Structure 1
Amino acid sequence: MTIQPDSTLLSHATGSFLTAPGDAPPGRVAAALDRHRYVVVLKGDGAGDDVVSCLTAGAVVAAAEGGPDAVVRVHAPPCVVAAERTTFAEFCDGLSVTLLDLGAEAVVLLDDGRRISGVLPVEAVQRYLGSGAHVPEPSEMGPHGSSDDHLVHGLPGLPLARVLCREAGCGLVNSLAYFDPARPPYCRNPDDRHRLRTEA
């Protein structure tokens, strides 16, 4: 199926996911998987603001067979969080497309109430970009100068990536609006200043 520039991210997402608190044992989560393809790991009560990571079902099953004691400790690439009504063109024209450089496998989508509504495999974004359907918008300043250039409209503060810092002893979840692999940002850990580390 061809993805059009005005197609929403939700229109190509899957509802085949379950949510799990970060402290849940991988074995328990794996037992609940059924046919779900993804597990969205949360640090709190289930609001979209609490997304920590998004794991494939395979990663959870593998972790259940002798891995860490909690799903939040299962090594996963950072995940991107976006508003469900964001179009592919909006996502790819803005700085948010740089978040894919973090190695994300999925985009967790939120509805207007900031509830999780779907998971978009990153392959869909790659397929859209590779199809030739995307024509980048010219970079023009908006009415507020460069401060709103390439702004994706929708839920405030989205899209962003949730990145668990892998620095020894850290583990803080950082939220990034864009990513430059040549200049990784500093982790937001107030007790230990260090560059954000995405690999263990």
Structure 2
Amino acid sequence: MSRWFWAFLGYSLVCGLIRIPADNLENIVTPTDDETAIGLWVFSQAYDIIVATPLSMGLSWVFLKAARYEPFTLSDIFGAFSRNYLNAIGAGLLKAILILVGLLLLIVPGLYLLIKLAFVEYLIVDRKMGMIEAMKESWHMTEGREGTLLALMAMSVLIFIGGMLLCIVGVIPAIIWLSCAYAVLYHTYCLVDQPKEPEPRPDSGNPFSM
């Protein structure tokens, strides 16, 4: 983060501006009637699915390339659009639905799915996997590592709260730091698992097995 902080900050701000219709449309346009309000909500949700979600995956790819000390440019934030667009949309939507349903089921299943599907975004853009294949692989990659990811998730909450307490401005470096942390963790697990790739891994308990 310290090496490329200003690049990360600039890229994140660009993504934030492009995401505005998905995140803050209600603050920009005031609906005059219920029909307009519904139309704005539908547009916002559609924009989130077809633009904001792939864009976020592209930003994750930038952090991953930095973790590997590979060169990256601003155009990489659009990597999901050129590399694996349809699967980026499908994976983002399916993951969101699964986690939402899991959270509604007494929260714990949702948190578990959040951990097990933590690397889907990277797999979609980095390895150009299909959405089911990416979920299956993320499930494999997190096997036996749930405790580490849970600890990172808990740490993320504390760091984010700390950023909020620092006059809110601290949220920006907090988000960048956490994005770096997840990218480094994914890259580390890829390196650790590399020698095991030729060996088939059991699909026991993996709901995404085909």
* TM-score class normalised by the smaller sequence: under 0.3
Looking at both structures, which has the greater relative contact order when contacts are Cα pairs under 8 Å and sequence separation is at least 6? 1
Structure with more helix by fraction = 2
Larger-Rg structure: 2
TM-score by structure 2 length?
0.25
